[in-house]
Amino acid sequence: MSNDTTTQNVTTPNATTSAATTPDVSRRYQPQLRVNATYMRGGTSKGVFFLLKDLPPAAQVPGPARDALLLRVIGSPDPYGKQIDGMGGATSSTSKTVIISQSQQPDHDIDYLFGQVAIDKAFVDWSGNCGNLSAAVGAFAISQGLLSPQTHPTQVPMDGWATVRIWQANIKKTIIARVPMRDGLVQECGDFELDGVTFPAAEVQLDFIEPADDDAGGSMFPTGNLVDMLEVPGIGCFNATLINAGIPTIFIAATELGYTGTELQDDINNDAAALARFETIRAYGALKMGLIQHIDEAKQRQHTPKIAFVAAPKDYVASSGAMVLAQDVQLLVRALSMGKLHHAMMGTCAVAIGTAAAIPGTVVSQAAGGDALDVVRFGHPSGTLRVGAAAALVDGQWQVTKASMSRSARVLMEGVVRVPADTLPAA
């Protein structure tokens, strides 16, 4: 495959596209296609990872064929909402795909493209990153030989910490991953514990460099305000922080929504009226942030923006049954992803939380006591998470140079994934 094909893959990923291929009935009984793939956990998410060069030729470029392949791999669209006939796990955290290639960007090692696969609809959202799966990208690239102690001896030691420079192609940002190595191999097992993940593993350190979204005109706050009055017809008005850092996010105080901030998944996800209200608020937030031009466009942009509600610290029992004490956190955050309350916290949303906590006056900072926090530990449904951010006011504009956190990652299965031959157009 030529470099031109690779470049096309990583420079035009931002549009949300629908799978529109028509199945070829004459090919229905042919043997399934076999595609090399690796199933990995990264942070509190799971996804199917591919090398770009291993995809069928029609799927090596953006478009309907690629989307059709990824939808069929994951098992979408599924009106039952279970993804039984695919690799997906029927949640936003487990309906994910990643495509990796050698980087076409200067001073980067690999290009990383993320596709959030809808569960009950036939579309793949390319509008944002997955911060959790970012933790697995460096390890995958090393394990697949894109860089190694032999080819990159100064970056990838036989023992110690490998440094992988990742170009996040969806949002055109840099992520630096520090991956532990032992005897020339990625170290996956260890004693690092991450709330929302049952078993310990090796720590992976991530730095998200200048995570503010360039599409916001160079400002983290697309409206120019730390707090806006967000008017939502038929629902109400809310004081909201609209921020583009890590991922576009809408933050609202829990009390304004009638919540305490201690809610777990079932408290929100079993309430259809609450989910519909959150989606409406999210849509009007997207409009105010300039991410969409008409309210109806929000239906085709489910991955971004995120919506989250925050509260001052309180004691609560996490989903694992463990007690989270108010004295151990600086605020509480609950965030929705793909229309449902997340079981823990999205990595990109954690970047937004850390950034907003570092800037006095935001809704997040107010919930955390009002001080600028270089590092914040917050409570989420599964426990707690620590994230740091370096923010500064430069020429009247807030800027963030870096946000940092630790996650873990592990290969769950590797080999080939199979899809019916009529998934892709005939060669």
Return the pLDDT at 300.
87
Report the amino acid identity of residue 173.
Answer: K
- Apex CA 171: angle with CA 168 and CA 174, to 5°? 40
List, as own/partner pairs, every contact residues 223-229 make where C-beta atoms lie below 8 angstroms and the sequence separation is at least 24, other chains included: 223/288, 223/289, 226/359, 226/361, 226/362, 227/361, 227/362, 227/363, 228/288
What is the residue-level pLDDT of the chain in tens, covering all 427 positions?
334 333 334 333 444 444 444 555 677 789 999 999 999 999 999 999 999 999 999 999 999 999 999 999 999 999 999 999 999 999 999 999 999 999 999 999 999 999 999 999 999 999 999 999 999 999 999 999 999 999 999 999 999 999 999 999 999 999 999 999 999 999 999 999 999 999 999 999 999 999 987 554 457 999 999 999 999 999 999 999 999 999 999 999 999 999 999 999 999 999 999 999 999 999 999 999 999 999 999 998 999 999 999 999 999 999 999 999 999 999 999 999 999 999 999 999 999 999 999 999 999 999 999 999 999 999 999 999 999 999 988 888 899 999 999 999 999 999 999 999 999 988 6
- What is the rounded distance in angstroms from the CA atom of residue 87 to the CA atom of residue 89? 7
Return the pLDDT at 113.
98
Q: Measuring CA to CA, which residue among 250, 249, 243 is closest to residue 219?
A: 243
Q: Measuring CA to CA, which residue among 27, 49, 31 is closest to residue 40?
A: 49
What CATH code would you report for 3-211+410-423? 3.10.310.10
Catalytic residue among 40, 130, 289, 405: 130
Return the pLDDT at 27.
72
- pTM of the predicted model, to two decimals? 0.89
Residues 6+ apart with CB under 8 A from 281: 230, 232, 235, 238, 250, 252, 307
Please, which residues bridge with residue 168 across strands?
112, 173
* Joined tokens for residue 191: 């004693």
* Residue 76 near residue 88 (C-beta atoms within 8 A): yes
Please, which residues bridge with residue 123 across strands?
18
| DSSP states along 133-147 | THHHHHHHHHHTTSS
Is residue 229 annotated as a catalytic residue, yes or no? no
* Residue 341 near residue 265 (C-beta atoms within 8 A): yes
Q: What top-level class would CATH report for the domain 215-404? A: alpha beta
Residues 6+ apart with CB under 8 A from 179: 138, 139, 142, 161, 162, 164, 186, 204
Return the pLDDT at 217.
47
Return the pLDDT at 215.
54
Is residue 413 annotated as a catalytic residue, yes or no? no
% helix, strand, coil for the chain, step of 5: 25, 35, 40
* Joined tokens for residue 205: 């350190």
Report the amino acid identity of residue 274.
Answer: A
Domain span(s) for CATH 3.10.310.10 in the chain: 3-211+410-423, 215-404
Would you say the C-alpha torsion 149, 48, 245, 341 has a positive or negative sign? Answer: negative
The CA-to-CA distance between both ends of the chain, in Å, stands at 16
Residue 266's SS3 state is: helix
Catalytic residue among 40, 220, 338, 346: 346
